[in-house]
């Protein structure tokens, strides 16, 4: 590997990732390795059936483990993440827990990260703010373990984009110590609930290649992820996935995480996360709708980076038929068509535009205001964001 | 259990049937290992080359069933109580959970695949651990019919029929009488 590539791919991941069948059964052992014996397990608030199945999986994993776990489903305070995290901190202290285990994905993981941050800094929990979290210099003593079906947060530091009136945070204190990815956890979730996760990973991989430093090593992972996710999306949207397909998708999602890791600029995720927060929709869906509209505004990305994905998306045979100088545009066209295909496969449930997703136009200013600080080092100006949001709202492709 | 926003403490149950099954399997393997070291020249050599105070324990974490074997003064393998095993000095091989052990001892996952899947933790000398895995594989070949042994070991050995049949018979006999 050349020095230039090494400089672009300085990958230091402090997170252990255990992925594979029965990985969840390693959880008690891994907890003991970090000196924990009384973990507080946070389970996502999903539909009753899904919650029951998740709970059963966790209870089974702790059988014969000689541990004293506790279970709770935070979120009684509604969408207020800080209130929910404080509730977790309060329960953590009440039962004398020594580790946090979060099961699920999305909002609950952010709540757990925040709770861990709050537990790691000295002071009254009620008075702590985002600034206090960013002061944490070393890895906190309290272990945070994330057990998930499809996702992975194995980067060198994690964060989230705050809700309106709430600053964004990006620091090591929010990174889990261990991520356990067990495809059996997917059994507990309906395929429809998994789809935003797959889309999120697809967007990671594509924007990693489109806006990243063009590193062949991470690019290989990005292309593997796209080739692994794209063909199965219509099945996922139509709830026709088999366990085997789910397992291969999990591998693709891990590849997407590695593909994204050296990419500092993530304009699609920045705007998509703001849309998801303001519009109250899954980040994966917002990202997917926005992806082609944001990418289309970057000529370099379209002409130089996107062509690499054509084979992964439509296969080598069809890619050979397209004129080489049109490969980038062809990928963009496929990205524009993807929401339409998902809409048809899901029987009309998947929104094709931001309008169908329920985001009112008058909230665009609020979205841009929230996305601006995290728009990844000025990659997108406010004007570009507005143009992308307008086009994504109306569903008007921008193809040159 | 009804999940609420209040943390609910619970005492995890035990998987008694699986525990009993693994305990029986480990006892049989330990007994057979002791016999195989006397019957099979290759296994006997492995034990003879081990350090004088060598002891080995295969257990299920945290306090599941276990099997322990040591090298005696004459270089022979001898089964002993896992409670007397000194983890600080011997070779301690732990399977991460009872469920994983059950998967291994029902031959749905071989030792090699289980190691790749990070299901086994070893504390002690790595070359000795590799030697013991070879010994366990050989014992499984002796104990199990070919269709099962192929699932349990990485590569089914190309042994002569005489070695397999006489070895199997002697190991079963010595295993029953404990010598």
Of B3, B96, B119, nearest to A72 by CB-CB distance is B3
Band of the pLDDT at A21, cuts 50, 70, 90?
A: confident
Whole-number pLDDT of residue B91: 93
Task: Tell me the CATH number at A57.
Answer: 3.40.50.1970
Same structural domain, A155 and A212: no
* Tens digit of each residue's pLDDT (9 = 90 or more) over A365-397: 988 888 876 555 456 788 888 999 999 999 888
* Nearest-CB residue to B10 (from A43, A71, A94): A71
Are residues A171 and A257 located together in one domain of the fold?
A: no
Show which of A152, A185, A218 is a domain's final residue: A185
Q: Decide if A25 and B6 are in contact by the 8 Å CB cutoff.
A: no
d(CA A28, nearest CA chain B) in Å = 8
Q: Which residue, A266, A268, A265, A216, is CA-closest to A388?
A: A268
Q: Closest residue of B to A21, CA-based?
A: B117
Nearest to B42 by CA among B124, B127, B159, B150: B159
How is residue B120 written in tokens? 């086994």
Residues A179 and A240 in one domain: no
Q: Do A64 and B9 touch (CB under 8 A)?
A: no
pTM over 0.80: no
Taking CB atoms and an 8 Å limit, are A29 and B97 in contact across chains?
Answer: yes
Q: Which of A21, A63, A74 is opposite residue B13, by nearest beta carbon?
A: A63
Residues A299/A307, Cβ–Cβ less than 8 Å: no
pLDDT (0 to 100) of residue A112: 84
Question: In terms of C-beta distances under 8 Å and separation of at least 24 residues, what long-range contacts does A123-127 make, across chains too?
Answer: A125/A86, A125/A89, A125/A90, A126/A86
Q: Which of A91-95, A134-138, A223-227 has the lowest mean pLDDT?
A: A134-138
Contacts of A368 (CB under 8 A, 6+ apart): A274, A382, A385, A386, A389
In a domain, A282, yes or no: yes
Which pLDDT does position A377 carry in this prediction?
47
Residue B55 CA from chain centroid, whole number: 13
Question: Using one digit for the tens of pLDDT, what is the confidence trace for A309-318?
Answer: 888 888 877 7
Of B3, B10, B97, the CB nearest to A25: B97
Provide the domain count of chain A. Answer: 2
Instruction: Give the phi and the psi of residue B96 in degrees, each rounded to 5.
Output: -65, -25
Task: Report the alpha-carbon distance of residue A121 to residue A109 in Å, rounded.
Answer: 19
Instruction: Work out the average pLDDT over A283-296.
Output: 88
Residue carrying structure tokens 């020594």:
A98
Tell me if A279 is assigned to some domain. yes
Q: Which residues of B touch A56 (CB under 8 A)?
A: none
Q: Shortest CB distance from A71 goes to which of B8, B98, B121?
A: B8
Which of the residues B1, B2, B3 would you substitute to probe the A interface, choosing the one with the greatest number of A C-beta atoms within 10 Å? B3
- Assess whether A23 and A144 both reside in one domain: yes
Q: Which has the higher per-residue pLDDT, A180 or A15? A: A180
Give the model's pLDDT for residue A156: 41
Query: Do the Cβ atoms of A43 and B3 come within 8 Å?
Result: yes
Residues A62 and A153 in one domain: yes
* Whole-angstrom distance, CA of residue B93 vs CA of residue B58: 5
pLDDT grade, residue A354 (50/70/90)?
very high
A152 and A171 inside one domain: yes
Same domain as A199, residue A99:
no
Contacts of A2 (CB under 8 A, 6+ apart): none
The Cα of A65 is separated from the nearest Cα of chain B by a number of Å equal to 6
Confidence band of A290 (pLDDT split at 50, 70, 90)? very high
Q: What is the mean pLDDT of residues B130-155?
A: 90
Per-residue pLDDT for A235 more than 80? no
- Which chain A residues are closer than 8 Å to B118 by Cβ? 18, 26
Yes or no: say if A112 and A146 are a contact pair by the CB < 8 Å rule: yes
Statement to judge: residues A200 and A270 lie in one domain = yes
Task: Answer yes or no: do A94 and B10 touch at CB < 8 A.
Answer: no
Q: Which one is predicted more confidently, A219 or A288?
A: A288
pLDDT bracket for residue B122 (50, 70, 90) = very high
Query: Are residue A158 and residue A244 in the same domain, yes or no?
Result: no
| Distance of alpha carbon B103 from alpha carbon B122, whole angstroms | 19
d(CA A112, CA A146): 9
Determine whether the interchain pair B5/A75 forms a contact, defined as Cβ–Cβ distance below 8 Å. yes
B interface with A, Cβ–Cβ < 8 A, is: 1, 3-15, 18-19, 61-64, 96-100, 103, 117-119, 121
Together in a domain, A157 and A224:
no
CB contact under 8 A, B6 and A18: no
CA-nearest residue to A83 within chain B is B5
- Alpha-carbon span B71 to B34, nearest angstrom: 10
Instruction: From residue B39, give the alpha-carbon distance in Å to each of A132, B25, B46, B75, B149.
Output: 68, 20, 13, 14, 19
pLDDT of residue A378: 53
Identify whether residues A181 and A207 lie together within a single domain: no
Inter-chain residue contact B121 with A29, CB threshold 8 Å: yes
Over the stretch B102-113, which tens digit does the pLDDT of each residue have? 999 998 888 888
DSSP states along chain B: ----SS-EE------HHHHHHHHHHHHHHHHHHHHHHHH-HHHHHHHHHS-TT-EEEEEETTT--EEEEEE-TTS-EEEE-GGG--TTTSEEEEES-HHHHHHHHTTSS-HHHHHHTT-EEEES-HHHHHHHHHHHHHHHHHHS-HHHHHHHSSS-----HHHHHHHHHHHHHHHHHT-
CA distance A170 to A174: 8
Task: Dump pLDDT digits (tens) for B76-101.
Answer: 889 999 999 988 888 999 999 999 99
Which residue, A155, A185, A215, sits at the end of a domain? A185
Q: State mean pLDDT over A5-29.
A: 74
Within 8 A of A61 by CB-CB distance, chain B residues are 97, 99
Model confidence at A220: pLDDT above 80 = yes
Does the pLDDT value for residue A353 go beyond 70? Answer: yes
Q: Which residues contact A156 (CB under 8 A, 6 or more apart)?
A: A11, A12, A13, A14, A172, A175, A261
What is the Cα Rg of chain A in Å?
21
Query: Chain B interface, mutation test: which of A32, A64, A98, most B Cβ atoms within 10 Å?
Result: A64
Decide which of A151, A185, A219 is a domain's last residue. A185
Domain residue limits at A66? 11-185
- Contacts for A91 with CB less than 8 Å, ≥ 6 apart: A40, A70, A72, A97, B6, B7
> Over the stretch A127-174, which tens digit does the pLDDT of each residue have?
666 666 666 666 666 777 777 654 444 444 455 544 444 555 566 667
Shortest distance between the Cα of A72 and any Cα of chain B, in A, equals 5
Tokens (6 digits) for A316 = 């080598």
Distance from CA of B19 to the nearest CA of A (A): 9
Of B1, B5, B9, the CB nearest to A74: B5
CA closest to B19 among chain A residues: A64
- The domain limits of chain B are 16-173
Question: How many other C-beta atoms lie within 10 A of the C-beta of residue B16?
Answer: 10
What whole-number distance in Å separates Cα of residue A299 and Cα of residue B172? Answer: 75
Those residues of chain A whose CB sits closer than 8 Å to some CB in chain B are 18, 20-22, 25-26, 28-29, 32, 40, 43, 51, 55, 59-76, 87, 91-92, 94-95, 97
- Taking the C-alpha atoms of B157, B160, B166 and B170 in order, what is their torsion angle to the nearest 10 degrees? -20
What CATH class does B16-173 carry? alpha beta
B-chain residues within 8 Å CB-CB of A76? Answer: 5
pLDDT digit string, tens, across residues B4-61: 777 888 888 888 999 999 999 999 999 999 999 999 999 999 988 888 889 999 999 9
Does residue A161 share a domain with residue A216?
A: no
Please report, for the domain that includes residue A304, its CATH number.
1.20.1090.10
Confidence tier at A307 by pLDDT (50, 70, 90): confident
Cβ–Cβ gap A65/B9 under 8 Å: no
Cα A370 from Cα A59, distance rounded (Å): 40
Identify whether A399 is part of a domain.
no
Min CA distance, A279 vs chain B (Å)? 26
Q: Cβ–Cβ of B62/A65 closer than 8 Å?
A: yes
> How many beta-carbon contacts under 8 Å exist across A and B?
92
Cβ separation of B99 and A74 shorter than 8 Å? no
CB contacts of B119 in chain A (<8 Å) are 22, 26
Of B11, B14, B97, the CB nearest to A28: B97
Decide which of B132 and A55 is more confident: B132
Cα separation, A53 vs A44, in Å, equals 11
pLDDT at position B74: 82
8 Å CB contact of B117 and A22: yes
């Amino acid at each position: 590997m050349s020095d230039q590539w090494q400089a672009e791919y300085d990958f230091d991941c402090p997170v252990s990732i255990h992925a594979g069948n029965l990985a969840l059964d390693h959880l008690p052992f891994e907890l003991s390795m970090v000196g924990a014996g009384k973990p507080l397990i946070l389970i996502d608030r999903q539909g009753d059936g899904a919650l029951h199945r998740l709970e059963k999986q966790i209870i089974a994993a702790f059988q014969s483990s000689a541990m004293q776990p506790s279970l709770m489903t935070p979120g009684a305070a509604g969408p207020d993440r800080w209130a929910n995290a404080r509730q977790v901190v309060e329960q953590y202290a009440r039962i004398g827990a020594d580790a946090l285990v979060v099961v699920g994905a999305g909002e609950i993981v952010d709540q757990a990260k925040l709770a861990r941050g709050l537990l790691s800094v000295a002071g009254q929990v009620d008075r702590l703010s985002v600034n206090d979290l960013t002061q944490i210099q070393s890895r906190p003593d309290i272990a945070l373990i994330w057990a998930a079906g499809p996702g992975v947060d194995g980067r060198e530091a994690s964060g989230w984009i705050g809700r309106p009136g709430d600053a964004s945070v990006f620091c090591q204190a929010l990174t889990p110590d261990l991520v356990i990815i067990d495809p059996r956890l997917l059994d507990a979730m309906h395929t429809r609930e998994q789809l935003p996760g797959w889309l999120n990973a697809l967007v990671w991989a594509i924007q990693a290649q489109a806006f990243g430093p063009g590193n062949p090593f991470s690019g290989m992972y990005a292309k593997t992820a796209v080739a692994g996710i794209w063909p199965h999306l219509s099945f996922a949207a139509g709830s026709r996935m088999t366990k085997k397909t789910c397992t291969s998708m999990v591998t693709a999602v891990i590849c997407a995480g590695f593909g994204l890791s050296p990419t500092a600029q993530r304009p699609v995720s920045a705007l998509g996360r703001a849309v998801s927060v303001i519009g109250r929709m899954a980040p994966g869906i917002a990202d997917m709708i926005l992806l082609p509209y944001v990418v289309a505004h970057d000529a370099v990305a379209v002409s130089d980076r996107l062509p690499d994905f054509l084979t992964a998306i439509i296969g080598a045979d069809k890619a050979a038929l397209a004129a080489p100088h049109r490969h980038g545009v062809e990928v963009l066209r496929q990205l524009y068509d993807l929401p339409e295909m998902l809409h048809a496969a899901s029987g009309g449930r998947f929104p094709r535009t931001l309008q169908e997703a329920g985001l009112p136009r008058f909230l665009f200013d609020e979205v841009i205001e929230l996305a601006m600080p995290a728009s990844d080092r000025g990659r997108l100006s406010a004007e570009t964001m507005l143009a992308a949001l307008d086009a994504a709202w109306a569903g008007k492709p921008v193809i040159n | 259990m009804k999940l609420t926003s209040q943390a609910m403490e619970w005492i995890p149950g035990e998987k008694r049937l699986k525990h009993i099954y693994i305990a029986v399997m480990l006892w049989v393997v330990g007994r057979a290992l002791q016999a195989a070291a006397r019957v099979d020249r290759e296994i006997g050599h492995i034990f003879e080359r081990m350090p004088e105070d060598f002891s080995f324990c295969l257990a299920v974490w945290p306090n599941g069933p276990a099997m322990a074997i040591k090298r005696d003064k004459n270089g022979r393998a001898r089964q002993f109580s896992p409670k007397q095993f000194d983890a600080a000095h011997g070779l301690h091989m732990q399977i991460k959970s009872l469920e994983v052990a059950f998967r291994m001892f029902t031959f749905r996952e071989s030792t090699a695949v289980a190691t790749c899947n990070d299901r086994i933790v070893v504390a002690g000398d790595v070359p000795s651990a590799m030697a013991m895995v070879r010994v366990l594989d050989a014992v499984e070949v002796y104990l199990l019919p070919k269709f099962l042994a192929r699932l349990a070991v990485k590569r089914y050995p190309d042994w002569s029929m005489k070695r397999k049949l006489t070895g199997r018979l002697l190991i079963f006999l010595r295993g029953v009488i404990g010598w």
